Amino acid sequence: MTKRMKRAAAGLLLAALWIAPAASAAARHGAASAPQGEGTSRARTLDEILKRFDEVQAQVRTMTANFTETKELRLLRDPVVSKGKFYYTRPNDVLWEYTDPTPKAFLISRDELLAYYPEEKRAEKLDISRYQSRLLKVFGIGQVSEDLKKYYELSLSEPGPRQGIYELVLSPRRRMIRKRIEEVRFWIDSKSFLPLRMQYFEKDGDKTTLAFDDTQVNGVIDEATYRIDLPPDVKIQNTFTGLGSSKGAS
């Protein structure tokens, strides 16, 4: 697996890391079900939050959400903003479908990583059958917190002025991850347990922020969602150059 592929897959999978579990928590433990007097008035410890994390891992089946991605790159003066929709089906189908300003798609399914840039009539495919289970484990998909702690130092940050929000900080333990990712932060609503925002900092100084809305949990996602039929005039490369490879892409 190339360094670029690992770095790009990190971004895709890290975003899925807390989205599905946290969204499933909302389905099982909505704000109305919280014990009276708890909520934001009672500070939950990191262990309590991770316990909830473990409880919901087995419950999530599917999730969709709209997202806004903001990339702050060292070489660009202004942030690059993109929008689209995220799909996740357990155990390992993930689709990031970008719609604005430039359509593109990044799909992980059936032991394959596919990047499709329709305006360029170009696609990239990479067989990840040898690496998929390891990637999912390293980046936390379907893992309990004890497994996650093998790869990340977990801490709970002070939310500052943002009341009613948990801010979780993941600091990589393993050298393979530390070489690419400096730190990951997640903001989760303390009542609904829905993910609000994710931010990851790369070693080169670039920063990516993902904000989520209209999150739907355990709904029906057609299997065809994870199938991209490429037109015959699309040039296919058996490689993966990364998330920023398309023109005007984020």
Task: Dump pLDDT digits (tens) for 40-67.
Answer: 434 578 888 877 767 766 677 888 999 9
Q: What is the pLDDT of residue 24?
A: 42
Task: Confirm if 183 and 171 have CB atoms less than 8 A apart.
Answer: yes
pLDDT confidence bin for 36, thresholds 50/70/90: very low
Q: Rounded CA gap, 158 and 161, in Å?
A: 9
The SS3 assignment for 242 reads: coil
Pair of tokens at residue 38: 């708890």
Interhelix angle 46-57/3-28, rounded to 10 degrees, is 90
The SS3 assignment for 120 reads: helix
Q: Rounded CA gap, 128 and 96, in Å?
A: 17
Task: Confirm if 65 and 85 have CB atoms less than 8 A apart.
Answer: yes
pLDDT confidence bin for 160, thresholds 50/70/90: low
92 domain residue, yes or no: yes
Task: Confirm if 33 and 191 have CB atoms less than 8 A apart.
Answer: no
Written as one letter, the residue type at 125 is: K
Range of the domain at 151: 3-32+39-231
Average pLDDT over residues 9-24: 48
240 domain residue, yes or no: no
23 domain residue, yes or no: yes
Q: For the chain, what is the domain count?
A: 1
pTM (two decimals): 0.76
| CATH number of the CATH domain containing 162 | 2.50.20.10
pLDDT confidence bin for 174, thresholds 50/70/90: confident
Closest to 186 measured CA to CA, from 178, 176, 194, 174 = 194
Average pLDDT over residues 135-154: 65
Written as one letter, the residue type at 76 is: L
219 domain residue, yes or no: yes
241 domain residue, yes or no: no
123 domain residue, yes or no: yes
Task: Confirm if 208 and 73 have CB atoms less than 8 A apart.
Answer: no
236 domain residue, yes or no: no
